[in-house]
Structure 1
């Protein structure tokens, strides 16, 4: 019985095929857009990029603050930048409408 089970298992595994799905990574970002660098102070970010339209208060320990600009967000630990990320733009904003 064990031999028959092994033969069936080997036969099934030899006949099993899988397709490889490749999803290309889309180009993200805006050409030439600079983001605040890690280690910059809040004052340096404000001088270089202007006042953030939306500022979230510090939360947690250590205190993490988030500033939102139109194209990116900046995360601070205390007074220093720890990360800058581009804001998500829905695909529809990048497509031009077609005319009939």
Structure 2
């Protein structure tokens, strides 16, 4: 059975975990393809890697989005 937007655990890619630093992300995943920000207060920065995006508050990971699991409305 296939569930839309669901990726089996064995197929999930490794992504940065919440709370790690920008330096740790760089060390583990290398340079991002693109960088945006920081913008706003607190400062939010976005780094784009091939199939995922990482959002930082100040210098720590706030959230990571796996672009392979996003289901867009029709």
Q: TM-score range by the shorter chain?
A: 0.7 to 0.9
More helix by share: 1
Q: Could you say what secondary structure the match of 1:36 adopts? A: coil
Q: Could you say what secondary structure the match of 1:67 adopts? A: strand
Other-structure match for 1:53 = 33
What are the superposed Cα offsets for residues 18-38 of structure 1, whole Å, 9 maximum, x if unpaired? xxxxxx741248814111001
What are the superposed Cα offsets for residues 26-85 of structure 1, whole Å, 9 maximum, x if unpaired? 124881411100111000001001100100020000000000000100000000001001
Unaligned runs of 5+ in 1: 1-23, 92-100
Higher RCO structure (Cα 8 Å, ≥6 apart): 2
Q: 1:34 to 1:74 in 2, by over 3 A?
A: same
**Aligned pair partner of 1:84 in 64, 68, 71:** 64
Unaligned runs of 5+ in 2: none
- Based on CA coordinates, which of the two structures has the bigger radius of gyration? 1
Q: TM-score, normalised by structure 2?
A: 0.78
Q: TM-score, normalised by structure 1?
A: 0.59
| Count of paired positions | 68
Give the ranges of 4+ consecutive aligned residues of structure 1 lying more than 6 Å apart after TM superposition: none
Q: Could you say what secondary structure the match of 1:57 adopts? A: strand
